[in-house]
Amino acid sequence: MKVVNAMFQSLIPLCFLLLTFTIEPLLAAEPEPVVDKQGNPLQPGVGYYAWPLWGDNGGLTLAQTRNKTCPLDVIRNPDFIGSPLTLLAPNLVHVPTETDLTIGFDVQTICIQPTTWKLVKQGSGFWFISSGGESGELTSKFKIERLQGEHAYEIYSFKFCPSVPGVLCAPIGTFTDTDGTRVLAIGDDIETYYVRFQRVDTYAQKKEQGFSSA
C-alpha cells in the first residue's frame, strides 16, 4: 500500500502541470548560444553567476523560505554576489537558448538533496522554483530565453517550458515573500526576471587584477 501511495503522489505534480495551469505557451525562437557579459558562449558544466541587469549583487542562490528547512528555494539575495550556477545540456558544446536544460547550483547545503532546480506547486496557479530536482524529470526541465531587441544580446530570462506537448510554458520571475525574501516563481502578476551571466573564474581573475567586471 505504501508503494501504491508513493506512486500516486509522484503523479500529482505531473497532473497539475498538464491540467491546471492556463498560461499561454510562449512562441519559441531558434536556438542560439547563450553568451556571458563578455560575449562568450556559455559552456555546460562551468560555473556562472546570474546577475540582475545592473550591478553584481542580487545574484541567485538557495535559502530557506516558507517556514521550512528543506528543500531550499531559489532566491535573489540583494546583498550577495550569488552562488555559481551550472547548466547541463547533454551532448552539446555550448548552452543554447530555447532548449531543455538541467540547472543547479555548485554549492554545499544543509539539505541532503540535489541542488538541481525543480518546479514545485504552491497554490492555485502559483509555483516556486525549488531544489531537489533530478536530471531528466519533467519538473526539472528549464529553458533560457534571450530578450529581443537591438541592445539585448546578453540579456536573458529563465522559463519553465519543457519540450513536451500540452505542458505548462511560462516565464520565471520573482515573488516577494512575507519576510521580504525574493523567491523565483511562476504565477499571475509576476514579472519576468532578466539576468546577465558572468563566468565565475573569469570574474575571479578580473577581481585579482583590479578590473571592473563589466
> Is 8 part of a structural domain of the chain?
yes
Total domains in the chain come to: 1
Let me know if residue 187 belongs to a domain: yes
* Domain membership flag for residue 67: yes
Residue span of the structural domain in which 120 resides: 2-209
The predicted structure's pLDDT at residue 95 = 96
pTM (predicted TM-score)? 0.83
Domain with residue 90: its CATH number is 2.80.10.50
pLDDT tens profile 182-194 = 999 999 889 999 9
122 within a domain of the structure (yes/no): yes
Q: Evaluate whether residue 214 is within a structural domain.
A: no
pLDDT in tens, 117-137: 999 988 778 999 999 999 989
Q: What single letter denotes the amino acid at residue 140?
A: S
Residue-wise pLDDT for 146-158, tens only, equals 998 776 678 999 9
Q: Kindly calculate the radius of gyration of the chain based on its CA atoms and give it in whole angstroms.
A: 17
Residue 193 forms part of a structural domain:
yes
Q: What DSSP string describes 161-204? A: --SSTTS--EE-EEEE-TTS-EEEEEETT-PBPEEEEEEHHHHH
- For residue 213, pLDDT over 50 is answered with no
Name the pairing type of β-strands 126-130 and 156-160. Answer: unpaired
* Alpha carbon separation from 89 to 78, 142, 190, 213 (Å, rounded): 29, 11, 27, 26
Query: Is residue 79 assigned to a domain?
Result: yes
The mean per-residue pLDDT over the stretch 152-180 comes to 91
Share of the chain above pLDDT 90, in %: 58
Q: For 12-27, what is the mean pLDDT?
A: 47
Model confidence over 55-70: pLDDT tens digits?
Answer: 777 899 999 987 778 9
In a domain, 83, yes or no: yes
